[in-house]
């Protein structure tokens, strides 16, 4: 299919679609992978290098730009930008409960979904690179999970890379899912403490909501029930600079008074649905823990380890803690679009023969320039793991900062990308 081109103020956009193997070891079955190329007006015929963006997630498509702003504005001054919809996301062949319905058994669903980790995302990127520019190198920018993809790229196809830029996404090279959650649960507890320090009235508000949900069957506008556990998953936003406010403004409008008495505010319920994307992005639930599994099983790590942190128990006094970005098996019963995938999720959680995501020996010989922003108090990607990886991998420069939270690239991307490029090129 020939690329299509659109022009909006400040941007020329070209859409690419590639038919690539679902399984590179058995390439007969194909999927479609979409990428959107951006270039500044007047530079469409220039011989510019590419900067490829790897989105966070897993399971989220690339940004849909409305103009040249943020990190894209800085990038377009010297690059063509390629926004990659990682396999299974966005305009690529999607993974949803609806699309997986044609697979007749949970085993078939699990077998299909297992091919949507970082290793195959990188294989897709390499195939796209060769299709677009042959053996020339390109630069990549990875945000959060996109940084995990970047480290996989450095492990298995560094010859395609000129420079690597990472924001909030340097993983442990050897840590298990258990290691990750033992490190991140305490961070979530600390974020909860800060939330309630900022909004002390929410201690009682949250307790009132939890009590109401315990006593009543509250149905969500889009289907399914709002359980206590689902409500407390709002804490996933606590690692963002505006996350406390997002939760607080929901919590303070949780109830309305009616002639029949106190009821849950429908706007509150709609706000929760808008804040939670587990139904619309099932890859996140199905493969979140698989981001950390190498020749091992995750076995619902976050659920197993939760008991090690009694602060999350709902006692009679004190604040009730929200959880973070963890996924749990009960979600397969609560979220309507996850219910049909329950058996497949169980198979993936028990899978032990996952491929290796990182080649430590090869990374110890890394020659590609890497510049990374590491957020000091990152709730999602443990800073100490990132620093440990940087000690293993040569030619990696870290900018450890408390100026930003995990969403720094979204908020101040022009400045962050500019600094990373200067770091990679020895100007800082």
Average pLDDT along the chain? 96
Distance of CA 211 to the CA centre of its chain: 31
Residue 348: its H or E element: helix 342-350
Q: For 52-103, give the DSSP string.
A: EEE-STTT-PPP--SSS-HHHHHHHTT-EEEEEE-TBSTTSSB--HHHHTTS
Q: Write out pLDDT tens, residues 272-328.
A: 999 999 999 999 999 999 999 999 999 999 999 999 999 999 876 789 999 999 999
pTM: 0.96
- Residue 2, burial from CB neighbour count under 10 angstroms (0-12, 13-18, 19+): exposed
Q: Write out pLDDT tens, residues 194-204.
A: 999 999 999 99
User: Out of 16, 115, 281, 406, which one is annotated catalytic?
Assistant: 406
User: Out of 62, 144, 172, 301, which one is annotated catalytic?
Assistant: 144
**274 catalytic residue (yes or no):** no
**144 catalytic residue (yes or no):** yes
Q: Write out pLDDT tens, residues 58-76.
A: 999 999 999 999 999 999 9
Q: For 247-288, give the DSSP string.
A: HHHHHTTSEEEETTEEEE-HHHHHHHHHH--TTT-HHHHHHT
pLDDT of residue 317: 76
Domains and CATH numbers, the chain: 4-174+358-424 (3.40.50.1820), 177-350 (no CATH)
pLDDT of residue 2: 63
User: Out of 47, 353, 402, 427, which one is annotated catalytic?
Assistant: 353
**60 catalytic residue (yes or no):** no
């Amino acid at each position: 299919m020939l690329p299509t081109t659109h022009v909006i103020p400040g941007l020329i956009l070209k859409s690419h679609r590639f038919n690539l193997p679902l399984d590179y070891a058995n390439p007969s079955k194909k999927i479609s992978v979409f990428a959107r190329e951006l270039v500044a007006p007047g530079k469409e015929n220039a011989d510019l290098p590419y900067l490829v963006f790897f989105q966070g997630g897993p399971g989220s498509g690339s940004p849909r730009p409305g103009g040249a702003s943020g990190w894209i504005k800085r990038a377009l001054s010297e690059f063509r930008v390629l926004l990659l919809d990682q396999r299974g996301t966005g305009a690529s062949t999607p993974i949803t409960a609806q699309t997986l319905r044609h697979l007749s058994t949970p085993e078939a669903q699990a077998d299909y979904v297992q091919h949507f980790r970082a290793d195959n995302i990188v294989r897709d990127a390499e195939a796209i690179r060769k299709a677009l520019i042959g053996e020339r190198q390109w630069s990549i920018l990875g945000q959060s999970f996109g940084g995990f993809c970047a480290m996989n790229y450095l492990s298995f196809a560094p010859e395609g890379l000129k420079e690597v830029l990472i924001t909030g996404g340097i993983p442990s090279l050897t840590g298990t899912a258990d290691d990750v959650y033992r490190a991140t649960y305490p961070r979530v507890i600390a974020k909860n403490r800060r939330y309630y320090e900022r909004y002390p009235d929410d201690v009682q508000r949250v307790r009132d909501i939890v009590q109401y949900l315990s006593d009543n069957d509250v149905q969500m506008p889009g289907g399914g029930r709002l359980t206590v556990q689902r409500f407390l998953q709002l804490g996933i936003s606590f690692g963002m600079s505006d996350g406390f406010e997002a939760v607080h403004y929901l919590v303070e409008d949780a109830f309305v008074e009616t002639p029949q008495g106190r009821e849950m505010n429908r706007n509150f319920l709609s706000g929760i649905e808008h804040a939670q994307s587990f139904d619309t992005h099932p890859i996140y639930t199905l493969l979140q823990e698989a981001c950390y599994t190498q020749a091992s099983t995750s076995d619902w790590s976050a659920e197993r380890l939760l008991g090690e942190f009694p602060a999350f128990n709902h006692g009679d006094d004190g604040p009730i803690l929200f959880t973070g970005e963890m996924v749990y098996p009960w979600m397969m019963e609560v979220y309507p679009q996850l219910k049909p995938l329950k058996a497949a999720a169980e198979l993936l959680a028990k899978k032990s023969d996952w491929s290796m995501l990182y080649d430590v020996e090869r990374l110890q010989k890394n020659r590609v320039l890497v510049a990374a922003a590491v957020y000091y108090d990152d709730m999602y990607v443990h800073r100490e793991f990132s620093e440990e990886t940087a000690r293993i991998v040569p030619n990696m420069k870290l900018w450890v900062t408390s100026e930003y939270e995990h969403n720094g690239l979204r908020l101040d991307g022009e400045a962050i990308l500019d600094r990373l490029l200067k770091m990679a090129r020895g100007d800082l």
